[in-house]
Amino acid sequence: MGAWTSVRFSRSMAAASSIADGMPVSVETAREPHLGYHLLKRMLDITVAIAVIMITMPIWLIAAVAIIVESGRPVLFRQERLGHLGRRFVCIKFRTMVPDAESRMHEAMRAAAVEGPEFKRALDPRVTRLGRLLRAWSVDELPQLINVLRGEMSVVGPRPIAAWEAEYQGHGWRRLAVKPGLTGTWQISGRSQIGWDARMLLDVEYVDKRSLGGDIGIILRTPWAILARRGAV
């Protein structure tokens, strides 16, 4: 029978962790699996990450060369995200946007006429032609396996959120009770076809019901979700 734990951040602790200026962060009560879960999950993470890196290494090389040919360097895109308990880490992906994408954020948002987290679902003019292809097949996410090996992410878990997304979270802060993941419940349930609120609820549901068997099931279903390209952007 799993123990119930509650992790709460005070306003001062949140500031010390640099999660958000003056914003209190609370990770609400979440069910902890059996004691061996975390060790077995870490072993699963390392095994899957190494295996997938070895199998997909030719794709890494092709993607890197193609990015350089199309739009130059850098090949990788690095962005600060919030991980377990709000700890910041640098999330790594293949670059799918123009090199000056960050400086063109407001321009792109005006062009897409959207705001906040839903912005990703719009036809972002900053995304390159190659970038759309990489995103459609989730190739851009492969470098996050490095984050998994570092222990910053897990193979399965809620998606890591950017610091600027914090104001949109509401009770979604409960997702910070576990490590963020490369794949998860909503990724195998429709990907970008699922609205922002639904994604958040599915991530919170994963936190509440997580188990090693559930993680393995999500891992096995992920390749089929990618091949089906349902909800790909």
Written as one string, the DSSP assignment of the chain is: ---EEEEE--HHHHHHTTSSTT---EEEEEE---TTHHHHHHHHHHHHHHHHHHHHHHHHHHHHHHHHHHH-S-SEEEEEEE-GGG-EEEEEEE--B-TTTGGGHHHHHHHHT--GGGGGGS--TTB-HHHHHHHHTTGGGTTHHHHHHHTSSEEESSPPEEGGGGGG-GGGGGGGGS--EEE-TTTTTTGGGS-HHHHHHHHHHHHHH--HHHHHHHHHHHHHHHHHTTT--
Residues of the chain with pLDDT under 50: 1-25, 29
pLDDT at 51: 98
pTM: 0.80
- What is the number of alpha carbons within 13 Å of residue 105 lying toward its C-beta? 8
Q: What is the pLDDT of residue 123?
A: 65
Residue 176 and residue 86 in contact, taking contact as beta carbons nearer than 8 Å: yes
**Residue 161: left if φ>0, alpha if ψ -120 to 50, beta else—which one?**
beta
pLDDT of the residue at 10: 36
pLDDT given at position 22: 36
pLDDT at 20: 44
Task: Say what the pLDDT of residue 232 is.
Answer: 57
| pLDDT number for residue 35 | 77
